[in-house]
Structure 1
């Protein structure tokens, strides 16, 4: 579980970084709160942050489920795939939102392997 805790900490720090990028873009492009539109680069940073938040709701508990009922090291590796995929998503989305697909799909697959694996592992233990 040590590796799971480390990877999960990295994922949460990454989200904090994305939040910082939004704040910096808000200042740089003069987008006053509570507005969430105004400049394309601010809007892209904001959408990256929001999409990452939406994904965290799935990936955080899924990583713990998978680690508990299947294998902790594999959960950490899948969590690391998610972490890397979010940087791919971030870089692609900031350049051109239409190119974000690969980063999104990699993260989605990693989180859902953990979710379904955790569910399967828990059900397996019933028998």
Structure 2
């Protein structure tokens, strides 16, 4: 069973739900009405945090699960947890200023690439056998 990976998947989804709710709260706080996606820097940053998280999830979640299946549940979950932590750091930095998003982006990108490269390598090794 893949209990650790399942837990990290649920953490990633919970974080995405959090940033989605944050966009709604930013809309209310700044007066940006649907369907507008611009008009106030605080709202625009909240919107981009949510959108960027969504952009990375189709890369991370399948890679996370393939890594767990082909390599290790615990290692996949640990790297996936680093991705979630990176997203939190990204959220905290970007919420203050766009220029402060770099460290969190780097952490989560490193974790995502590690998951994808690990999964790809493991699949290729299995195909070669």
Shorter-chain TM-score bucket reads over 0.9
C-alpha deviation, 1:99, in angstroms: 1.4
C-alpha deviation, 1:38, in angstroms: 1.1
1:15-94 correspondence to structure 2 within 5 Å: 15-94=16-95
Distance in 1, matches of 2:97 and 2:30, equals 18
Gapped runs of 5+ residues in structure 1? none
Distance in 2, matches of 1:64 and 1:8, equals 9
- Local SS of the residue matching 1:32: coil
Summarize deviations over 1:52-98 as a string: whole Å, max 9, x none: 00010100000001001111100000000000111100000011111
Distance in 2, matches of 1:61 and 1:29, equals 35
Q: Normalising by structure 1, what TM-score?
A: 0.98
- Runs of 4+ in structure 1 displaced over 3 angstroms? none
- Local SS of the residue matching 2:37: coil
Distance in 2, matches of 1:13 and 1:99, equals 23
Please tell me whether residue 125 in structure 1 is matched to residue 96 in structure 2: no
Distance in 1, matches of 2:56 and 2:120, equals 18
1:105-120 correspondence to structure 2 within 5 Å: 105-120=106-121
CA RMSD of aligned residues (A): 0.6
